[in-house]
Amino acid sequence: MSTVQALVIDDEADIRELLDITLSRMDINTFAAENLQSAKRLLKEKTFDVCLTDMRLPDGDGLDLLQEMQILYPRLPVIVITAHGNMDVAVKAMKQGAFDFISKPVELKDLRQIVRNALKSNAVLKQDRRSRHLLLGDSTAMRDIRAKISKIARSQAPVYIRGESGSGKELVARLVHKQSARSAEPFIAVNCGAIPHELMESEFFGHKKGSFTGATTDKVGLFQAATGGTLFLDEVADLPLDLQVKLLRAIQEKKVRAIGSQQEESVDIRLLSATHKDLAQLVQDGKFRQDLYYRINVIELLVPSLRHRREDIPQLCELFLNKIAHANQMPEAKLSAGAVKALQNYQFPGNVRELENILERAVTLYEGKLITESDLHLEKGSLQLPDASAYVPEMESLEDYLEEIEKHAISEALEKNKWNRTATAKQLGMSFRSLRYRLKKLGLEQ
């Protein structure tokens, strides 16, 4: 007799029977409930490894039961069953903690895969999930984000990772994958801004030989390559609108069709996405589809900028200096107290990536026993916050005030570099593309 037990909650007898037969063939004991009252009684009497529940039940709402189960049985993965096309309910359920969803009419192949994924997530709970050594920092912000990652790694819900350039969004995505039941499967990361628009559909969904000029062989798309694992879309805001439509359908239907193929192919992926841009504003501007935004932003993770967790800088410095020493087969360099203080007072427009670059440059150029403040070559005048007594613009909100400070800093850097944008981007520790975006946003383009 199998020790794996499933609770099925549905008021339709044929659905209960279908799920019972399917799960029994997977060597899973099934207990069925036709309403909330029966389900609650079974939950008190037995211990379950997975639960499948309809959203509309005769004596109440499945969402209410889901909320209750999150409190009483937080480790029980719940798969919600929704009516075909009712994605709003599915998204709402996943926001409230559901493991995943499946639509009616139920496709047995997809059902079996989702159940297997749910059972794997239970096994992950027994593993060592400590991540402090992978995502460094003892600040409150970093402790909070590690706790959130540990929780959301058990779900299949799409995650939108928001943060400035260089703040570590891909590292966060990799940690979500590493702590999930998909950790043994592929993690496929793609920079959406780096793919030419005319090749995007082929890159994402693949193509068949002869489907267009130049298609000399079959090509596996990113969705197919990531099946079983995680697909991370970095700079998702750069996707063109026509591909956003196809991406939305692929996420909702969990199926893709390669260019030139007559058949759709089921894909089983966890979708993570990220951008440094304001995606909500792009939705308002009509540059990003609202339905896709809500579909990928089921769970949102904000990666803090380095200037908002200054207490983590000494620890990060130690990591990078050790890494540089190993890469160059040389003794590990040390920072003077003054250098550490200077770094903690620096604004880091390029965040953690910029810190690593600064240290690499300092290790290459310093000549004394310690890396001093002067070895860091920090641009104090243009990159530190202006002195409050000398520069206090009248603003209506904190957001306006911070935007004005950013504008002031970039303007000074531009003046210093005689409006050479390449040199200015280098001085500010950001990419040319990022600088161009900020210039347009702040109205500094000439």
pLDDT grade for 216, boundaries at 50, 70 and 90: confident
pLDDT grade for 344, boundaries at 50, 70 and 90: very high
Q: What CATH architecture is 140-302? A: 3-Layer(aba) Sandwich (3.40)
Structural fold of domain 5-124:
Rossmann fold (3.40.50)
| pLDDT, position 132 | 56
pLDDT grade for 286, boundaries at 50, 70 and 90: very high
Residue 392, pLDDT > 80, answer no
| pLDDT, position 424 | 85
Q: Which residues contact 90 (CB under 8 A, 6 or more apart)?
A: 80, 82, 98, 101, 103
Share of the chain above pLDDT 70, in %: 91
Distance CA 80, CA 101 (A): 5
In this predicted model, what pLDDT tens digit does every residue of 293-323 receive, in sequence order? 999 999 999 999 999 999 999 999 999 999 9
Q: Which amino acid type is present at position 445? A: E
Q: Are 231 and 223 in contact (CB under 8 A)?
A: yes
Winning range, highest mean pLDDT, from 37-46, 58-67, 374-383:
37-46
Distance CA 370, CA 271 (A): 45
Question: For the residues 414-425, what does the mean pLDDT come to?
Answer: 80
Sign of CA dihedral 371, 373, 375, 378: positive
Q: Which amino acid type is present at position 214? A: G
Task: Give the three-class secondary structure for 352.
Answer: helix
pLDDT grade for 252, boundaries at 50, 70 and 90: confident
Distance CA 400, CA 388 (A): 15
Query: CATH topology of 306-378 equal to that of 398-442?
Result: no
pLDDT grade for 401, boundaries at 50, 70 and 90: low
Distance CA 324, CA 360 (A): 7
Q: Are 69 and 76 in contact (CB under 8 A)?
A: yes
Question: For the residues 35-54, what does the mean pLDDT come to?
Answer: 95
pLDDT grade for 446, boundaries at 50, 70 and 90: low
Distance CA 320, CA 323 (A): 5
| pLDDT, position 32 | 95
Q: Are 35 and 54 in contact (CB under 8 A)?
A: no
Question: For the residues 127-156, what does the mean pLDDT come to?
Answer: 81
Residue 275, pLDDT > 80, answer yes
Distance CA 395, CA 297 (A): 31
Distance CA 136, CA 153 (A): 18
| pLDDT, position 206 | 92
| pLDDT, position 79 | 95
Sign of CA dihedral 348, 351, 354, 360: positive
112, 150, 234, 277, 300 from 163: Cα distances, Å: 36, 19, 11, 8, 11
Residue 270, pLDDT > 90, answer yes
Dig out the tokens for 50 from the structure.
Answer: 């997975």
Helices (H), ranges, 276-397: 279-284, 290-296, 313-328, 337-345, 351-365, 373-376, 380-383
The conformation of residue 101, written as its DSSP 8-state character, comes to E
pLDDT grade for 385, boundaries at 50, 70 and 90: very low
CATH of 306-378, one of 3.30.2310.20, 1.10.8.60, 1.10.3470.10, 3.90.440.10: 1.10.8.60
Dig out the tokens for 254 from the structure.
Answer: 């969990």
Q: Are 95 and 70 in contact (CB under 8 A)?
A: no
| pLDDT, position 367 | 85
**Which of 255, 274, 258 is CA-nearest to residue 266?**
255
Residue 382, pLDDT > 50, answer no
Q: Are 76 and 34 in contact (CB under 8 A)?
A: no
Query: Domain residues of the chain, as ranges?
Result: 5-124, 140-302, 306-378, 398-442
CATH of 398-442, one of 2.60.120, 1.10.10, 1.10.1060, 1.10.3470: 1.10.10
Distance CA 128, CA 125 (A): 8
Dig out the tokens for 17 from the structure.
Answer: 């029977």
| pLDDT, position 126 | 55
Dig out the tokens for 104 from the structure.
Answer: 């009616």
| pLDDT, position 406 | 79
In this predicted model, what pLDDT tens digit does every residue of 350-378 receive, in sequence order? 999 999 999 999 998 888 889 999 999 88
User: Per mean pLDDT, which range of 76-85, 131-140, 208-217, 363-372 is the poorest?
Assistant: 131-140
Residue 388, pLDDT > 70, answer no
Distance CA 35, CA 48 (A): 17
| pLDDT, position 383 | 46
Distance CA 384, CA 343 (A): 11
Question: For the residues 161-170, what does the mean pLDDT come to?
Answer: 92
Angle, CA of 233, 112 and 104, to the nearest 5°: 85
Q: Is the overall model pTM greater than 0.85, yes or no?
A: no
Share of the chain above pLDDT 90, in %: 61
User: Per mean pLDDT, which range of 161-165, 172-176, 210-214 is the poorest?
Assistant: 210-214
Residue 133, pLDDT > 70, answer no
Instruction: Describe the crossing of helices 169-178 and 140-152 by its angle, rounded to 10 degrees.
Output: 40
How confident is the prediction for the chain on average, in pLDDT?
87
Residue 400, pLDDT > 90, answer no
Dig out the tokens for 231 from the structure.
Answer: 């697909």
